[in-house]
Amino acid sequence: MLNIYIFSTTINEGNNNKGGECVMKKIKIILLITLCISLLTGCAKQAETKVEDTTNKVKEEYLFENDAKNINQGGKIARYKDTYYYSEIKDGGKLYSKPVSGEGEPKKINDDVPLSINIYNDKLYYINYAQKGKSPVIVLDIQDTSKREVLQDRNAMDMLIKDDKIIIAYRGEEGRGHVEGYYYIDVEVSDLKSGEVIDTYSPGYGTVTLIDESKYISFSTMVGNRLMDEKEDKLLYPSEDERDFMINYIGENEKGILINAEYTADQETPGIYLVYSNGEHESVLTQDEGIVNGVSTDEDLFYFTDVSMNVLNYKNNKSMKIMDYSLEISDGLYKFENTLIILKENGDWKEFDLDELKEKASSNQAQEDEEKNKEEVKEEAVGSTNKLQDMSDEKIIYTLQDYIGNIYNKYYSERDYSDTIEEGQYSAINSTYGTKEKLISSMSSYFTDEMLNELRNADDMKSVDGKEYLATVENPYINLCNVETIKSKNYKDGVLTVEYISDWADTDFDCMVQFVEVNGIIKINKIDY
């Protein structure tokens, strides 16, 4: 602290006036400088305090509450400072702790079987499933784990702590009739500071996924899956008349709630959707790749298909593959700060740094772009006709399967023949082979005239699934998916002829297919059996 001492001096009149004026000016300057220093020091301390307050707030939000996404994955893991608290699947799901660093051995805390693990003010909150037929909410002191108390002795289904509130979904009476096997759900919202109950409501019969004090996803046989906002008394997703679908909670970003819609009744493309507070929604990612699960950060969506791990950036809407990865539907995804944890069904853990995953995805994308550019340059240099000549056995088999699959979908799966053809006659469509005339003749007793005419006019089946196919094939219904061996390949005059063995109807027989290239597109020209 700066102390300023001002000494008073008697100023004589006359010639001493000038000296007095100088002294007064100096004092004013010193006072002004002192005032500026005090103001600057105060501003700096205030700014420092604001930074510390913001940092502490972020830390408190992270340390004392578990994310709703984590809870809705079973809530089997929570993190407090440098320690994980979790349900050890390899020991019957009992409560354990272990260091975040990975150094040191796991430690068993007690024989409770915890789910929906939350942390608030140095205490663990969880639902205990150790006793069959009972699931009370337990509070455990982290500093002294011998201090254990039952917060609620009712049967809890789900529990979430958010914004100093504890939200608990309780299981009520079991339904009868069309809701047999489902339980009535009661949700209770309490203030953790005062302990007072501030709200109660019921999503009805079935199951519930809590998102916050008023938003939840419920399922019942009556109305299917619904994303609801109880406070606004509003159905957020899907539309009122839609019920034949499955939706799972992925997380939230600054705009709204992210859900994974597995299938929908109104033919909306399955995938991940962003649902706004007014009930409107937009597609974030389609489910062409078969999305299994995902977690969201403010900037990115990390998602898994059944064969790969990927990341989508919200700003540029660009999706990149991180690595080949097989995630089972039963595997849980947990995110703590910048760490992604995959909890396997057998209890094994895998941990990933999200920044490292993004760097890996960017590196993969750069390498893929480089290889693609090299391939395009190579193709231009070699010439398009060599595409056929250089086709590998794997590429040929894939092309056959892809071709016949699309033709099959267009002329068989996508049509509803159930009113005309009996169940046993489907196999006749697939087992008949020969020329198109033979096919039409054999199908004449099963097909209507309209269907037969469609077959007769099927010489040019284009734009099947966005691709072009030259369809002068003798039978698009023959099963070519079980191609075993390529016997020979011959490229001549722009036509690639391939002889192969197909295992169909438990009998190996030789087949021949001709490939041609038209405007850079490889097409099937002819198939002989």
Tell me how far apart the alpha carbons of residues 131 and 150 are, in angstroms, rounded to a whole number: 13
Positive or negative, the Cα torsion across 471, 473, 474, 480? Answer: negative
Arch. (CATH architecture) of 386-528? Roll (3.10)
pLDDT tier at 12, thresholds 50, 70, 90: very low
Q: Quick one: pLDDT at residue 462?
A: 35
Tell me how far apart the alpha carbons of residues 175 and 181 are, in angstroms, rounded to a whole number: 6
Pick the CATH number of 289-381 from 3.90.1640.30, 2.40.10.360, 3.30.70.360, 3.60.15.10: 2.40.10.360
Q: Examine the pLDDT at 147 and tell me if it is beyond 80.
A: yes
pLDDT digits over 180-211, tens only? 778 899 999 999 999 999 999 999 888 899 99
Q: Quick one: pLDDT at residue 28?
A: 57
Collapse the DSSP code of 315 into the 3-class scheme (helix H, G, I; strand E, B; otherwise coil) and give the result.
coil
Tell me how far apart the alpha carbons of residues 189 and 166 are, in angstroms, rounded to a whole number: 6
Q: Quick one: pLDDT at residue 481?
A: 46
pLDDT tier at 267, thresholds 50, 70, 90: low
CATH class, range 65-222 = mainly beta
Domain ranges of the chain: 1-55, 65-222, 289-381, 386-528
Burial tier of 268 (Cβ tally within 10 Å: 0-12, 13-18, 19+): middle
Question: Which tokens sit at 13?
Answer: 């009149």
Q: Quick one: pLDDT at residue 482?
A: 58
Mean pLDDT to the nearest integer, 37-49: 52
What percent of the chain has pLDDT above 70? 63
pLDDT tier at 31, thresholds 50, 70, 90: low
- Range with lowest mean pLDDT among 86-95, 158-167, 323-332, 484-493: 484-493
The string of DSSP letters for 412-479 reads: IITS--TTTS-GGGHHHHHH--S-HHHHHHHHTTTS-HHHHHHHHTTT----BTTB------S-TTS-
pLDDT tier at 353, thresholds 50, 70, 90: very high
Please answer whether residues 250 and 230 qualify as being in contact, where contact means their C-beta atoms are separated by less than 8 angstroms.
Answer: no
Q: Examine the pLDDT at 215 and tell me if it is beyond 60.
A: yes
More confident residue, 487 or 441: 487
The DSSP letter of residue 481 is T
Q: Quick one: pLDDT at residue 384?
A: 47
- Range with lowest mean pLDDT among 161-165, 449-453, 465-469: 465-469
pLDDT digits over 158-174, tens only? 999 999 999 999 998 88
More confident residue, 449 or 133: 133
Q: Quick one: pLDDT at residue 238?
A: 84
Mean pLDDT over each residue of the chain, to the nearest integer: 75
Mean pLDDT to the nearest integer, 13-25: 49
Name the nearest CA neighbour of 312 among 286, 338, 333: 286
Please answer whether residues 170 and 185 qualify as being in contact, where contact means their C-beta atoms are separated by less than 8 angstroms.
Answer: yes
Please answer whether residues 329 and 292 qualify as being in contact, where contact means their C-beta atoms are separated by less than 8 angstroms.
Answer: yes
Positive or negative, the Cα torsion across 192, 194, 199, 202? Answer: positive
26-40, 234-248, 295-309, 507-521 — which one is most confidently predicted on average?
A: 295-309
Q: Quick one: pLDDT at residue 432?
A: 39
Whole-prediction pTM value?
Answer: 0.61
User: Do the two domains 65-222 and 289-381 of this chain adopt the same fold?
Assistant: no
pLDDT digits over 87-119, tens only? 999 999 999 999 999 888 999 999 999 999 999
pLDDT digits over 369-413, tens only? 777 666 655 555 545 456 777 778 878 877 776 666 555 554 444
Q: Examine the pLDDT at 332 and tell me if it is beyond 50.
A: yes
pLDDT tier at 214, thresholds 50, 70, 90: very high
| Residue 73 half-sphere exposure toward CB, CA atoms < 13 A | 29
Burial tier of 155 (Cβ tally within 10 Å: 0-12, 13-18, 19+): middle
Query: CB under 8 Å to 198, separation ≥6 — which residues?
Result: 165, 189, 190, 191
